[in-house]
Amino acid sequence: MPKSMRSYHSIEDYHALRDNDDAAEQRERDDTISSTTPTSPVAYRQRPMRGSDTDLTRSGLSERSGLLAHAHGSRSYLSVPSSMPGTPRPGTHRHNSGLPKATRMKSRTGSFSQRLVNALGERRAGLDESMQSAKTTLWQDNRVWYDQFTSTDWVHDNIADAYRVKALRSRKDIRGRLAAWFDGAQGWILVAIIGVLTAICAYFVNTTESTIFDLKQGHCTTKWNYSRKACCNGASICDEWVHWSKAFGSDKLDIVQTQYGFYVLSVVLLSMASCLLTLTTKTVIPSAISLSTLDENLGAEDLRNSHHPDDEDHKHSTSPQTQTSDAQIRPPMVFYSAAGSGVAEVKVILSGFVLHGYLGLRTLIIKTIALILSVASGLSLGKEGPYVHIATCIGNIACRIFSKYSDNDGKRREILSASAASGVAVAFGAPIGGVLFSLEEVSYYFPSKTLFRTFFCCIAAALSLKFLDPYGTKKIVLFEVRYHLDWKFFELATFIFTGCVGGVLGALFIKASRIWARTFRRIPVIKKHPLLEVFIVALVTGLISFWNRYTKLPVTELLFELASPCDTYSDSGDGLCPTKEHIPSVLWVLFVAFVIKAGLTVVTFGIKVPAGIYVPSMVVGGLAGRFIGHSVQLFALRFNNLGVFGECKPEGPPGSCVVPGVYALVAAGATMTGVTRLTITLAVILFELTGSLDHVLPFSLGILVAKWTADAIEPLSIYDLLTDMNSYPFLDNKIRPIFTSELGDITPRLRPDRIIDISEDSLIPATELRVMQQLLQMAGELDGGVPIVKHGVLVGLIPAPDLEFALDKLDNEDNTLCLMSPQVDWAAGREPQASSDDGETAQSDPSDFTPYIDPAPIALDVHSPMDLVYECFVKLGLRYICVVRDGKYAGMIHKKTFVKYMKELEIQEKKGHEH
């Protein structure tokens, strides 16, 4: 540890000593000035009137010149000392000079003076170039890496990209112009490639899973790889399609029982195969990495009023070693990159969080195959959410084509935003809905150029899907319905009621998912063996779903049937288009299907297979909406004598008055809104599915009511719930709590072993820097930083990843001194220390860490309001903020600390509302 750090235990003691020294120096300076000051005006008048060369009023400098501008410009009359290197400048003539102009000495070409000036000019140019290179090394290097569970340095990435663009545009030749043009076109080329690849992947998943899904019931005799729809040319049944009971034809086998056995066995086998593939993407995060800095005695000291470092709280402060030992006791964090929908993780990644391996090629391949198996198994899940994750994986892999995006995490996330949108575009066949999804849900920073590029990516994906035609209908939409009958005025109240029901269902689904995760999944056997949970859920799904026609269908086909209008009406009461007499029986069938589907969706969400929640939630809402629609239809037909139902004629078909499919689609959108809290995106997606301008108002009204209802019952969306349960440090930029404190209230106590003090010496042993870097790792601050102070004033900061990188480059770390002063440029030429006279070898040459130092870290005062701190973290994307008090360094607040503080505020507000 340097002497400057061993001499005191806190910055406050050091500040007191420095204040005393400064006061003594000021008194000595005042005495010197008083001894040289003239005692009378006569002495003042006897002074020469020639101005000083340092007088700014005579230097010719403009009042608008910058603080860092060169004092001797080309028009300055000040002569440069001969000892200073300089560049040749045109000869100047002083108007007040007494020498005649002809007496000036002219420089001749090739003379000694001219060669000396040229040599000095080259040396000065070389020094200026080296200094400028040293200043920009931090931004122009290739040290772009982020550790697991750290945050992206948005400021660093933006400045680095600005330097890259500046260097690119400095070339004025034809090659430079072509390079600049190609650099601007790289983003468009990349999103076009991503859109095409996403459509190809979606085509492969759609065609494959539909074939495997139908294999649970039979096979096509003409072509084994055909689904039942393709085998029968769109018909529900044909001779070419043979059920397994007929394939194993035997009089001893019951046809229904054989079909039932094959169905249950297929569901279990496909689900377990999908789970086994998903488990291969297991990632273990050590407890020390996931350790939050908030546990480091948060708020133990009030920086505004505390001036006693030896108080009782200081004695009980938690050390990094203690935290590390506690972290070793806790089990490590485990997650599976191919499990679930992945939308919550994509949202966290786009906010700047780093999850290595989550968007890699291995995850892409495994999740694509496992998704086919899980959807084909017949579980109550969808493929639309995983499409977002798969498309983002494609975007992340495609970024490796151009170094502009592969070497810059900030630029890469612009492409990932467009990729996520293309996933929704191919899932629902709604390119505009995909753009709005990226803007409303997953993207954290969404500038205008990203919006247009995202739209281009979605259009490229939609056009590619149109060309591939995965559904065989020449359409890109998931399903297409058309309503030819407009809605009636009396239905407005029922649409509002339907939206309210959908919001309640969505909020209850979130609460049920939380309860199920905290009860059943906490059982040691289930928690230790995820495959066992998948087996149980698949077995229950197969045993129950087989006997109900609507639970047996694929979720997309079921949603299509629920939303479709009725052209013909059946007297049997089996279908969804019954006559007036058979509507009660249809209501009972819908109610049973609703209960089964809702229960299976709750227990299925969260198992270790690729699973989406979009369409399953819409199916649950669609069943409830169809139930409401038929109820309104029956009520209007029976009480048509009322004035509001005057347009409903009992002798006409039931669909001539009320269309139950509209209610199904309104409830489907409302339920999905209650689960995900999407609003505008869903309204546009429903419009693109129906193409009906007349029904945009019912859809929008139901979504609005559902959003308000769900927020009143459950504040968190399903993605917020997953983020909290996985402890992701996600700072929500859409929810802003009411702050009642200041920055100093949450700033951790200042630790002398976490700062670099260069007050006495700017050369710090590398071993001490290594200890500081290890302390940051122990505290879970892999993306933190070490502040550099001088006389208590913050003069710079070196990021922890840069410090580790610089230390790893040293050959002899034990005998190396490192230059840590941001004001000194080592390239100016500091000679190495010579060997001592007694034969002992002096320390090796110190390594220059100046290029790794941030000379202007963002700092706020301890009295800064928390609203300002929130804006800095959200708008600037900072990883940490330095805290100062009266201009002196007082501590540092990390983003993880602030995120956990926000979570505590939410918990306190929730408890306050409950009481």
Range 847-868 average pLDDT: 90
| pLDDT attached to residue 105 | 41
Range 140-148 average pLDDT: 60
Q: Name the region of 351 (left: φ>0; alpha: ψ -120 to 50; beta: rest).
A: alpha
Minimum mean pLDDT range among 137-141, 311-315, 388-392, 468-472 = 311-315
SS3 of residue 570 by DSSP = strand
| pLDDT attached to residue 106 | 43
Report the length, in residues, of the chain.
Answer: 915
Minimum mean pLDDT range among 264-278, 417-431, 690-704 = 690-704
Minimum mean pLDDT range among 24-33, 275-284, 750-759 = 24-33
Q: How far apart are CA 125 and CA 132, in angstroms?
A: 10
Q: How far apart are CA 533 and CA 115, in angstroms?
A: 85
pLDDT at residue 104 tops 50: no
Q: Which helix (H) or strand (E) holds 199?
A: helix 174-214
- Please list the residues that pair with 793 across neighbouring strands: 790
CB 454 within 8 A of CB 424: no
| pLDDT attached to residue 915 | 57
| pLDDT attached to residue 39 | 43
The tokens describing 94, both together, are: 């002083």
pLDDT at residue 610 tops 90: yes
| pLDDT attached to residue 814 | 87
Percent of the chain with pLDDT over 90: 38
Q: How far apart are CA 497 and CA 698, in angstroms?
A: 11
The angle subtended at Cα 587 by Cα 582 and Cα 593, nearest 5°, is: 130
Q: How many CA atoms lie within 13 A of 276 on its CB side?
A: 8
Range 409-426 average pLDDT: 94
Minimum mean pLDDT range among 330-334, 462-466, 588-592, 794-798 = 330-334
| pLDDT attached to residue 66 | 52
Q: How far apart are CA 516 and CA 605, in angstroms?
A: 10
| pLDDT attached to residue 670 | 96
Q: How far apart are CA 873 and CA 88, in angstroms?
A: 48
Question: How would DSSP label each residue in 573-636?
Answer: S-SSSB-GGGHHHHHHHHHHHHHHHHHHHHHHTTSSSB-BSHHHHHHHHHHHHHHHHHHHHHHH
Percent of the chain with pLDDT over 70: 72
| pLDDT attached to residue 503 | 96
CB 146 within 8 A of CB 152: yes
> 760-770 pLDDT, tens per residue?
888 999 999 99
Q: How far apart are CA 887 and CA 790, in angstroms?
A: 12
Nearest to 729 by CA among 435, 341, 444: 444
pLDDT at residue 903 tops 70: yes
pLDDT at residue 290 tops 90: no
> 229-271 pLDDT, tens per residue?
778 876 777 777 887 777 666 555 567 888 888 899 999 999 9
Q: What's the predicted TM-score (pTM) here?
A: 0.80
> 576-600 pLDDT, tens per residue?
888 778 888 889 999 999 999 999 9
**Residue 278 or residue 484, greater confidence:** 278
Most confident of 10-19, 260-269, 655-664, 735-744: 260-269
Minimum mean pLDDT range among 23-27, 147-151, 834-838 = 834-838
Q: Residue 734: which pLDDT band, with cuts at 50, 70 and 90? A: confident
DSSP type of residue 79 = P
Minimum mean pLDDT range among 80-94, 562-576, 613-627, 725-739 = 80-94
> 504-552 pLDDT, tens per residue?
999 999 999 999 999 999 999 998 899 999 999 999 999 999 888 888 8
Q: How far apart are CA 515 and CA 505, in angstroms?
A: 15
Q: Residue 22: which pLDDT band, with cuts at 50, 70 and 90? A: low
> 48-100 pLDDT, tens per residue?
444 444 444 444 555 555 544 544 443 333 333 433 333 333 333 333 333 34
| pLDDT attached to residue 831 | 41
pLDDT at residue 895 tops 70: yes
Minimum mean pLDDT range among 97-111, 153-167, 258-272 = 97-111
| pLDDT attached to residue 649 | 66
Q: How far apart are CA 600 and CA 542, in angstroms?
A: 11
> 694-730 pLDDT, tens per residue?
888 999 999 999 999 999 999 899 998 998 888 788 8
| pLDDT attached to residue 477 | 82
pLDDT at residue 627 tops 50: yes
pLDDT at residue 478 tops 80: no
pLDDT at residue 199 tops 90: yes
Q: How far apart are CA 91 and CA 538, in angstroms?
A: 90
Strands (E), 229-277: 241-243
pLDDT, averaged across the chain: 78
Instruction: Please report the domains of the chain, with CATH numbers, ordered by start residue.
Output: 181-281+337-468 (1.10.3080.10), 491-725 (1.10.3080.10), 743-827+842-914 (3.10.580.10)
